[in-house]
């Protein structure tokens, strides 16, 4: 009941050009199905183990997004079905995604994750690291991945000005990469930013994809 209501609310307030990733991590299959029945098709998970458990139990037209830190040795498990990987933060990971995608004869869409927050703990590339990847010959030879945009997480804070500043930073990175590396590629058009606490700001700053967990499914309980 509540999931449906929250979803309907969300779908009515977000602009048409913004995609909603329903973050279902820690949530059971029946809740995900409830959201599916309300029309939601994109779901995000951050643990490979949970994802491979849930995926076969749910409808085949769900687009699964991987939104967390992805370990290289686990890429193989999600390569057959993953629709978008949000957290590419190294050349090594990108190479592994390319390799595993080739094995299952797929081309996997990816976002480069950037470190935009003040917090030490958040993963992500610097612009220098991204330049190194995108200029490299290894990247130009990868035929089984497609970089379709960028992703970032703002600092967890009440300071609206700071959050806005961090989202602007990500938007600028996107524009710079678009100009320097992807000007001929219209598929490079996604900016994944905004969560339950800051999605309104993210949309104002140009987000094309918001990742919402708590505001749809309620608080997460990591102990069950």
Ligand X SMILES: *Cc1c(COP(=O)(O)O)cnc(C)c1O
Residue numbers of the site for ligand X (CB under 6 A)?
Answer: 23, 25, 46, 67-68, 153, 195-197, 211-215
Name the residue among 90, 108, 100 with its Cα closest to residue 147: 108
The whole-angstrom separation of Cα 187 and Cα 168 is 21
The whole-angstrom separation of Cα 185 and Cα 195 is 27
Smallest separation (angstroms) from ligand X to the CB of 187: 22
Residues near 121 by beta carbon (within 8 Å), at least 6 away in sequence? none
For 89-101, letters b (16+ CB in 10 Å) and e give bbbebbbbbbbbb
Smallest separation (angstroms) from ligand X to the CB of 150: 13
Helices of type H across 38-190:
48-54, 75-78, 91-103, 127-135, 137-140, 160-181
Residues forming a β-bridge with 112: 88, 150
Given the complex with ligand X, which of 101 and 193 has the nearer CB atom? 193
Which residue's Cβ lies closest to ligand X? 213
Smallest separation (angstroms) from ligand X to the CB of 44: 7
State whether residue 9 is helix, strand or coil: helix
Given the complex with ligand X, which of 149 and 213 has the nearer CB atom? 213
Smallest separation (angstroms) from ligand X to the CB of 192: 8
State whether residue 212 is helix, strand or coil: strand
Given the complex with ligand X, which of 142 and 153 has the nearer CB atom? 153
Looking at beta carbons, which pairs linking 131-136 to residues 24 or more positions away fall under 8 Å?
Answer: 132/91, 133/91, 133/94, 134/177, 134/180, 134/181, 136/91
Given the complex with ligand X, which of 85 and 153 has the nearer CB atom? 153
Smallest separation (angstroms) from ligand X to the CB of 39: 19
Smallest separation (angstroms) from ligand X to the CB of 40: 14
Given the complex with ligand X, which of 150 and 195 has the nearer CB atom? 195
Given the complex with ligand X, which of 144 and 162 has the nearer CB atom? 162
The CA-based angle 181-211-121, given to 5 degrees, is 75
């Amino acid at each position: 009941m509540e999931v449906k209501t929250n979803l309907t609310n969300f779908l009515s307030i977000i602009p048409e050009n913004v995609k909603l990733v329903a973050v279902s991590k820690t949530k059971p299959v029946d809740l995900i199905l409830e959201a599916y029945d309300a029309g939601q098709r994109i779901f995000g998970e951050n643990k490979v183990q949970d994802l491979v458990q849930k995926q076969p139990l749910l409808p085949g037209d769900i687009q699964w997004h991987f939104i967390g830190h992805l370990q290289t040795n686990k890429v193989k498990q999600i390569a057959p079905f993953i629709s978008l990987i949000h957290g590419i933060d190294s050349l090594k990971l990108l190479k592994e995604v390319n390799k595993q995608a080739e094995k299952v004869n797929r081309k996997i869409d990816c976002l480069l994750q950037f470190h935009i927050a003040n917090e030490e703990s958040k993963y992500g590339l610097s612009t220098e690291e991204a330049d190194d990847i995108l200029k490299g010959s290894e990247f130009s030879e990868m035929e089984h991945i497609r970089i379709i945009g960028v992703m970032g997480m703002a600092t967890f804070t009440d300071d609206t000005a700071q959050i806005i500043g961090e989202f602007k930073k990500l938007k600028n990175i996107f524009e710079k990469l678009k100009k320097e590396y992807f000007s001929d590629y219209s598929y490079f058009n996604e900016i994944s930013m905004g969560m339950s606490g800051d999605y309104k700001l993210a949309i104002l700053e140009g987000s094309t994809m918001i990742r919402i967990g708590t505001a749809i499914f309620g608080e997460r309980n990591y102990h069950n």
